[in-house]
Amino acid sequence: MVEKQFNQGDVIFREGEFGDTFYQVLKGSVKVVINLGEPDEQVLTEIRTGGYFGEMAVIDGYRRSASAVAIGEGAKVAEITASDLGKFLEEDPTRVKSLVNHFGERIRSLTADYDEVKKFLDENTPIQNESLLARIKSVFKKSDKRSSLSDLTFEEISHSSGFAKNVESVKKGTVIFRAGDHANCMYDIHWGRVGIYTGYGTKNENKLTELNVNQFFGEMGLIGEEPRSATAIALEDDTTLEIITMDDLEDLLTKNPSKVYMIVQHLSYRLRRLTDDYTEACEKIYGKL
């Protein structure tokens, strides 16, 4: 990790550049902008002290999709490479919560954009959000994929190895959670199988996926305390689950850091998959804009 100081108006990185680092604002503010200096310049967001930015170039391996510029009285930032992630978190375990929350905000924000784009595709509903239109167009500036955070491999271990705080075993057919339930945790499968369903128990029941040992699920409950969007059912007797809350992360980082790295990797992979789906949807409507 390297600390850098930028004055007001300094460009930290430019749209279209390759990047293999992400940043945390230690002091001051940074604006994230597309089409910097052009007539159709759009400010996407402002990042203040404690916030992260630039992670998408590291995660998905493409060129920077926006520019980052110091504003106000300037900004002091920490520049973090993907390979430095473990050290960065271990130096200050409280960082893990803020980073996981950041991924949650990114996933929620991109999901909202994706849903709007899908609505346009499915219903031919006009997109009214000018900022979203600009972001759709910026998608096509990405090219020449390189390595990414999601391509990193941490120490290969079973998810049940090391320290675990809350573990329970359930019988086949047990409802782990139902669609609509409010949540504050995610799950890690140590043994058995779990099915994820929509319309569970109705004539419209549909199994979305089946999960096995060493897989996480339910992470949006951890990072957003949002209602569950589907129902999770144990598919084998003695299905064994580790229950992970936000308050557990610091303890896990201290006693079982590989588990926390795997959680971050899982979230980055989910964000990358969502980015790929969003990009594919944008490609379908780009010619209609």
List the pLDDT tens digit at each of the 289 positions of the chain: 899 999 999 999 999 888 888 999 999 999 999 889 988 788 888 999 999 998 876 666 678 888 999 999 999 999 998 778 888 888 888 889 988 988 888 888 888 888 888 888 888 777 777 777 777 766 655 555 555 555 554 455 788 888 888 999 999 999 999 999 998 999 999 999 999 999 999 999 999 999 999 999 999 888 877 789 999 999 999 999 999 999 999 999 999 988 888 898 888 888 888 888 887 888 787 666 5
Structure tokens that stand for 112 in this block: 């909202």
Any domain includes 219 = yes
Considering the domain architecture, whether residues 174 and 101 belong to the same structural domain is answered as: no
Specify if 96 maps to a domain.
Answer: yes
> 54: phi > 0 → left, psi -120 to 50 → alpha, else beta; which?
left
Same domain, 243 and 280: no
Is 187 inside any structural domain?
yes
Indicate whether 217 belongs to any domain: yes
Token output for 119 = 């609505």
244: left (phi over 0), alpha (psi -120 to 50) or beta: beta
Domain count for the chain: 2
**The pLDDT of residue 89:** 87
Distance CA 263, CA 100 (A): 9
187, 244 contact by CB (below 8 A): yes
Q: Which two tokens stand for residue 123?
A: 């219903």
| CATH number, residue 68 | 2.60.120.10
Task: Give the domain range for residue 66.
Answer: 2-121+268-288
